Amino acid sequence: MAESNPEINWDLEAYNLPEVQQNDLNQLLRLCEKHLKSYDKQLISKAFKLTYQSHKEGVRASGEPYYLHPLAVAAIIVEEIGLDDVSVAAALLHDTVEDTSVTLEDIQKHFGEVVVKLIDGLTKISGFFQSKGAKQAETFMKLLVYMADDLRVVLIKFADRLHNMRTLHHLPKPKQLRIANETSELYAPFAHRFGLYNIKSELEDLCLKASDEQAYKYIARRLKEKKDMRESFIREFMEPIREQLERSGFNFEIKGRPKHIFSIHKKMVRQQKPFEEIYDLFAIRIILDRPHAKEDCWRVYSFITDEYTPIPERFRDFISVPKANGYQSLHTTVITKRGRKVEVQIRTRQMDEIAEQGLAAHWKYKQGSEGGEGLDKFVNWVREVLENPGAESAQEFVKDFQLNLYSREIYVFTPNGELRTLPQGATPIDFAFDIHSQIGERAISAKVNGRLVPLRHKLSSGDQVEIVTGKVPNMNPDWIDYVVTHKARARLRQFLKHEQRKISDLGREAWEKKADRNKFELSDQDLARIARKLGFSSIQAMFFAIGNESYEINRLVKAVRSFLSKGRFEADDQEVNLHQARKLDSSEVIEDMQTANAHTLTLDGNLGNIKYSFAGCCKPIPGDDVMGYVSKEGLLKIHRSNCRNLMHLMKTSENAVQEVQWTKNTGGKFIGGIKVIGEDRQGLVNDLSDLLSNKLKTNMKGIHVESDDGTFEGTIVVHVEDLDHLRSVIANIRKVSGVKSAYRLE
């Protein structure tokens, strides 16, 4: 067979790389030597030579040669995920079939069956995370099939996305936000479900950096400032524990890792607290070099609780009851003699590798003799999803699956003591369907810990659940509001659609009798126009309303008679035309904006015929990272880049998002909110008012205060010129006597 690309030197073993590229290859091989137990140097060298030749003319948005991207992905596979040499070769070649003239036949001829299988899988699932609508279900199923077949396909895909996120800043801002949103909604939850803690954490941090760079940099700077203090505290805290571990003959490692930036930011927003008041910024981890000695973890736990006071409600035993992704560890939070809370995690080396690398570690252990229970468990979970997809829309399917990816877990028991893992918020209905579909369909009532409870009752970890069933199906349409698992929701949707179809058929049957009796003759197209005129989304919806007797069939008869005799529906066509004209208006505005302003619009009140306003949901002020969204009416709405509403709008119409920037002198007044917490002392409100009005010359739009048990909490809304002005106001408020913290209200 002739090679498909004559420009490539297919004698890959003899092909000599230029000096720079040979150095790149040598560096990758040194990583393989360090991190892989064994590897095929010739296989990896051939793969690199082919990727360099096939991508030789390609350039990334950063201006760098394109081949550096697959090289970086391969390095992540070696150093951060730790797969095998075949995966490294596939990572190097992952874009060749999709983006160059290299074919799968070429890959098979030169690299063999396993590499071509991985490349084929990567190529086929490449559209999943970008696809929308009905096609998403198909690509999603492909993704799951390949995951169940060979997890390396998806792990390489994660490495690819991780490198793309690390270089995201080279892209235009709208594209950054779209990719970051896509990553936070799908890649990060998948990484969480796979137990890829390091990758999940970095992806989340990079998403925050793209959507709210100021918040990201602020937290990163504060963590760096506190690094020496943190390390000093960990040494002092661990000194008595270290002595005990050494006396007992343990080989161990101690890590004090800060929480990742995204999780700190999330906690600051959720609790509405400044950085200074977030105390659990890090966790101490004790790793034992005894691969199977789970009982040793308990011994170390006793050392810690002998020295420090534990908080019982913060104890978690993930060794006896591992998480669904295979995570195992003991977690405890203790209080030091100075009253500081500290989280401690205790695990073996193998547990730590699985905690850091998740299913990648399971995959490696599966290849050896140390089992792979976590991998088997995960693959079974994937296959169960494939067997129970339901008949719902792609959007519903993906939404259900995402909820199950990221949800916390509870652990409940059957009457026989069998452990079942369910998402937090699960009810006995979820439990019943988890046991078997027929149990769920025939559920009548439930007993939790021996007590009768409603089927909508939310379960808690440790509950023992018994389902009472009848002889025939007993499903209730209302159950859909009380389930969280994909399996239960999919089956209930099937049931609902079946019931709706039966009711719609009754409505259609009733209509056909009326139509025959009145000798009506009209097409389905005309009937659809009448249904829309009567306020229904479709003929089927109209028949459903007639079938369940929520709409009088005689009103339809009257409307049809009017239509046939007077032709009363010309106005509908005009309304449709006007609606289309408004859509055209909006698209023309977007086109004009993108033509006249190739890179950015400037918010200076001089945007030609384009009207703009500031979104009330996020209240941007000059200095914030902002983006513009063009509505259907042609109005440009300015949102902060991290606004959730903007993220939602981008899903439906990415082309309507426009990059914008502030001018240096806006000259306007904007609304800023400030949260103030302090001591409830007499005169505090007067002092704050005096500061704003007289000393800072800042107009206050409103203030709301609450006090409870000596603590003061207030929200102040002020008129400011820009972000620097707001920060200055906050800095001055912090100096007021009795104020403990002040920060921008999100």
User: What does the buried/exposed string (b/e) look like for 478-487 if buried means 16 or more CB atoms within 10 Å of the residue's CB?
Assistant: ebeebbbbbb
Lateral strand order in the sheet of 601-603: 601-603, 657-662, 626-630, 636-640, 612-614
Nearest to 155 by CA among 358, 353, 404: 358
The answer to whether 79 is a known catalytic residue is no
Q: Which residues of 622-654 are buried (b: 16+ CB within 10 A; e: fewer)?
A: bbbbbbbbbeeebebbbbbbbbeebbebbeeee
Query: CB-based burial of residue 342 (10 Å sphere; 0-12 exposed, 13-18 middle, 19+ buried)?
Result: buried
Contacts by 698-705 with C-beta closer than 8 Å and gap 24+?
698/725, 698/729, 699/669, 701/671
295 Cβ contact partners less than 8 Å away, ≥ 6 residues apart: none
Give CB contacts under 8 A, 24+ apart, made by 608-616: 610/634, 610/636, 611/635, 611/636, 612/636, 612/637, 612/638, 613/637, 613/638, 614/638, 614/670, 615/639, 615/640, 615/643, 615/645, 615/646
Measured CA to CA in angstroms, residue 535 lies from 62, 527, 529, 547 at distances of 52, 13, 10, 16
Q: Is residue 98 annotated as a catalytic residue, yes or no?
A: yes
- Which three-class secondary structure state does DSSP give residue 311? coil
**What is the spatial distance between Cα 745 and Cα 684, in angstroms, rounded to a whole number?**
19
Residue 214 burial (CB count, 10 A): 14
Range 661-683 burial, b when 16+ CB lie within 10 A, else e: ebeeebeeebbbbbbbbbeeeee
CA 568 vs. chain centroid, Å, equals: 50
Distance CA 95, CA 179 (A): 18
Upper half-sphere CA count for residue 262 (Cβ side, 13 Å): 19
What are the distances in angstroms from CA 388 to CA 141, 392, 476, 485, 700?
A: 11, 11, 19, 11, 57
Long-range contact list for 583-589, CB < 8 A, 24+ apart? Answer: 583/632, 585/633, 585/634, 586/630, 586/631, 586/632, 586/633, 586/634, 586/656, 588/634, 589/630, 589/634, 589/636
Selecting among 7, 33, 98, 231, the annotated active-site residue is: 98
Residue in 7, 33, 57, 99 annotated catalytic: 99
Active site residues: 98-99
